[in-house]
Amino acid sequence: MLWGQLRKDLDKFSEALAASKARHARKQAKINPPAPKKPKASLEEVHAEYTALRRRIIDAIADNYVLDTKGRETYKKTASAYAVVGKYKVNSAFIDFDHELRDVNTMSGGIERNRVLKGMAKRLGVRA
């Protein structure tokens, strides 16, 4: 008889503990709802984002380091230092940024390329 009563009490306690844990979990879910998962960007969206950032960097290089108005327009259209250097006035840092941009274009790893491009954008003051 004693064992039977002990068994019933243990079962009641287990049920009460499980109910308490469930109530606590529901309360926590209300307080801290799980963050919604961001949908993964498609390859086209990633490429479009990369292209837009690259274009903003080219514009920033042109605005900050090409000193002639005509040279700025030429660099924005062609993104080629060959079309600008020797024909228009440029800042000495222009070549460094242009070479770095060329190096980014030849990188094969997308993650590494985007990391370098974002660092370059930060140095130029462009929002990445």
Query: At CA 49, angle to CA 124 and CA 60, rounded to 5?
Result: 20
User: Per the structure, how many domains does the chain have?
Assistant: 2
Q: Are 81 and 52 part of one and the same domain?
A: yes
Q: Are 90 and 72 part of one and the same domain?
A: yes
Q: How does pLDDT run across 20-77, given as a tens digit for each residue?
A: 888 888 877 777 777 788 788 788 888 888 889 999 999 999 999 999 899 999 999 9
Q: Are 9 and 72 part of one and the same domain?
A: no
Q: Are 56 and 118 part of one and the same domain?
A: yes
Q: Are 49 and 10 part of one and the same domain?
A: no
At 12 the pLDDT is 84
Q: How does pLDDT run across 74-95, given as a tens digit for each residue?
A: 999 988 888 898 899 998 889 9
- Segment 86-110 shows an average pLDDT of 87
Q: Which residue has the higher pLDDT, 105 or 57?
A: 57
Return the structure tokens found at 15: 């049920």
Is the pTM of the predicted complex or chain greater than 0.85?
no
